[in-house]
Structure 1
């Protein structure tokens, strides 16, 4: 009889947990998984996937207007049916939930519905929806429970909603106030403005999208404002009051804003409640994130953690990479391949504002700090599409080069398809591409992407 029921028991059925469970099962390991909600985690249910679907929906509003410049005459004014959008999104998410469940079941993972909690270093107790509890032993345990949005303490906080609520609001908000300046706040502001809401974005800082390249931040804010999003910097909420079904948002400077919905998107925290971490002695950071080493091992050697719950880079592809690296660490690399590790340098990302952002590598500011002497190449222009569309939207492309080695250390874009374009260039940066190699590459014409291989003049050093 085996010493343990499983070789690996995973708590959490999101991106990182599913990838680790699936890959480990393919190596012949005995895998168990507990998930209390629908499969797929934040990304599938209330994050990346529904956000991108709603972003697509919001772009139609712009497309209807822009089509006139290309000769299209639309009969009447297009109207959004919020209920149809919600229903179609829900159907797609349910389909994806089933796919994730199928990956586990067909992959030989014992999938348990319920909340998993550590009892000891090798035992997980699962509380099932029917009120029963079961205990399962495992040689190794993985915590991949992700994160949750939070609303800080202030008068009327219960009247605000979080990003988890936005995709299924009972009524479409004609007036939306978004509090926050990070990527979730900016994405929601752009998306709901595109869907037809009057949107005010409040941020207490000097500029939205802290930690992004400063020029990218300013350019994106300018484009969002041009589109009609009311961005108010140095703005803080003192309290929210109910006004019937509506809300009154009181600012610290005395202004009062009327809203149908107030979205707080000021940050997320690790999902660590009722996991038994403190009782077992699993060390955590001040914000609750779980401390791990380079192999995702916690202070308890048989317990591992990865993804948003460890608070490194809270991105789905990062959690996937961490899951695969953990499997190689625990069960050995695949035949003929080296053990995978996660390199947190040069991780590309996108922000689905309107227009979207794609970025990989260092900002201009961080490159100056790291390398000292740099060269910056940049171009902003009206894309070919908008020469007829009537839109005033502009595109920004920017490249940051280490002057000593000619290596491209940062690449940024604000404009249509930025995420799709930057993904390809991320491979080049990972390979150590130089500016000379970019210059020797033939562009695809006419595209916005070709600007990255045609910029010759240094903007600044």
Structure 2
């Protein structure tokens, strides 16, 4: 009998298992895939390695004829080999670290037999408590021929870059990979069924990113819903509900993810869940119908976004509430998010759309002529702040530029700690940097 079994070895699972084991609980962790989770093996980290090459190429091209000569190009095979150096050996290293700390590591699919028993590859295992941290997988799409879709996992393992790619869905996965693939030489189309792409980001800056994407040859099609994927030649023809069609050597799923809960047989544990939203939890991240089950990260039905830092954050609350008998209801501060396109698109707090109805001050600046961006010959660079003038606080920030990620982290600190907006003008940041620009926005 274990004190706790954690299902899933990503950011949430590793955090929970480490905390509980450190407090003296007899703990096991189980995963049916290699240890490490999506971010380390199939998501954030390997993706960022690939996208950095796209970023460097873009920077060099902007300065061609302005002091730089010659040409650079992405050699896909070499880039993928470099990416693999960040992934190879990670599962083994993580598992050994868990074992060294005294956590039992189990492999195989986990499913509930009853309220206190899991079955892992046919073997029943009992525990007092369970932490579900199973993450999410690509959403099942009602498209004829959907079996031909490649996942983001598949894209990240392509040995050769196809000459043409169709991405279905207008989320950050499609845009990030489309920017990379286009700069690596592929013909790229993004099909978004609705009016808005990149939901959750500021719509004005999203449109500017779409405009820029089109300018570099990424074809973005809004109001374009895929209906059928049909093999044709060596590739596939994607037919839409409006009878248009787009050819791709491969077709990639970029249309959202669904919590990994359906294979857990949660009904056997009397645990409430929603197939689309995940494990139903209360403010302590405890299941609402089985008090022995907690959930964190992408598989939990919470108000938090499906982001890696948030998964670890929620797992910290789960650990505390297990150890201290529900002492800490979860509280979310501002949550920064980023689409690592080139230029990058970032957001934290209120969007411009939400601000206008609440009487907030919205400041939008085209900063391409500012030294920070002009010296890089950056033609597309925007910053938007939403300020509560009465309280003298920043309540939202958005950026579309090469420094968007670092800028949004500064603004997350400002919002989280309610630093008065007016005080930014008196702060001595290093110059010239994007931080030293802050004083001019307030």
Q: Give the TM-score taking structure 2 as reference length.
A: 0.93
Separation in 2 of the partners of 1:305 and 1:364? 32
Separation in 2 of the partners of 1:262 and 1:356? 24
**Deviations, residues 131-173 of structure 1 (Å, cap 9, x unaligned):** xx32222111111111000241222212221212111124312
**Deviations, residues 388-410 of structure 1 (Å, cap 9, x unaligned):** 65x55321111101232121100
- Matched residue, 1:316: 308
User: Do the aligned partners of residues 423 and 96 (structure 1) sit closer, same or farther apart at CA in structure 2, a change above 3 Å counting?
Assistant: farther
Residue 274 of structure 2 aligns to a residue whose secondary structure is coil
Confirm or deny: 8 A CA contact 2:355 2:361 kept in the other structure. no
- Matched residue, 1:227: 216
Separation in 1 of the partners of 2:431 and 2:204? 26
Instruction: For residue 60 of structure 1, report the CA deviation from its aligned partner.
Output: 3.1
Work out which of the residue numbers 324, 346, 355 in structure 1 matches 2:334. 346
Separation in 2 of the partners of 1:94 and 1:231? 34
- Matched residue, 2:119: 125
Confirm or deny: 8 A CA contact 1:290 1:310 kept in the other structure. yes
Confirm or deny: 8 A CA contact 1:443 1:454 kept in the other structure. no
Instruction: For residue 308 of structure 1, report the CA deviation from its aligned partner.
Output: 0.4
Instruction: For residue 340 of structure 1, report the CA deviation from its aligned partner.
Output: 5.8
Confirm or deny: 8 A CA contact 1:386 1:392 kept in the other structure. yes
- Matched residue, 1:405: 391
Work out which of the residue numbers 363, 366, 375 in structure 1 matches 2:354. 366
User: Do the aligned partners of residues 73 and 403 (structure 1) sit closer, same or farther apart at CA in structure 2, a change above 3 Å counting?
Assistant: closer
Q: Which consecutive residues of structure 1, in runs of 5 or more, have no partner in the other structure? A: 128-132, 457-461
**Deviations, residues 188-208 of structure 1 (Å, cap 9, x unaligned):** 222222222221111122231
Work out which of the residue numbers 353, 360, 377 in structure 1 matches 2:363. 377
Between 401-410 and 435-444, report the one with greater CA deviation.
435-444
- Matched residue, 2:296: 306
User: Do the aligned partners of residues 153 and 450 (structure 1) sit closer, same or farther apart at CA in structure 2, a change above 3 Å counting?
Assistant: same
Equivalenced residues, count: 438
Separation in 1 of the partners of 2:392 and 2:340? 30
Q: Which consecutive residues of structure 2, in runs of 5 or more, have no partner in the other structure? A: none
Confirm or deny: 8 A CA contact 1:362 1:410 kept in the other structure. yes
Between 205-214 and 28-37, report the one with greater CA deviation.
205-214
Q: CA RMSD in A?
A: 2.2
- Matched residue, 2:408: 422
- Matched residue, 2:103: 109
Separation in 1 of the partners of 2:60 and 2:388? 43
Work out which of the residue numbers 147, 152, 161 in structure 2 matches 1:163. 152
**Deviations, residues 365-401 of structure 1 (Å, cap 9, x unaligned):** 22334xx221112211226476465x55321111101
- Matched residue, 2:37: 41
Say if 2:188 is the partner of 1:199.
yes
Separation in 2 of the partners of 1:227 and 1:287? 35
Separation in 2 of the partners of 1:149 and 1:59? 26
Separation in 1 of the partners of 2:322 and 2:106? 22
Separation in 1 of the partners of 2:216 and 2:400? 14
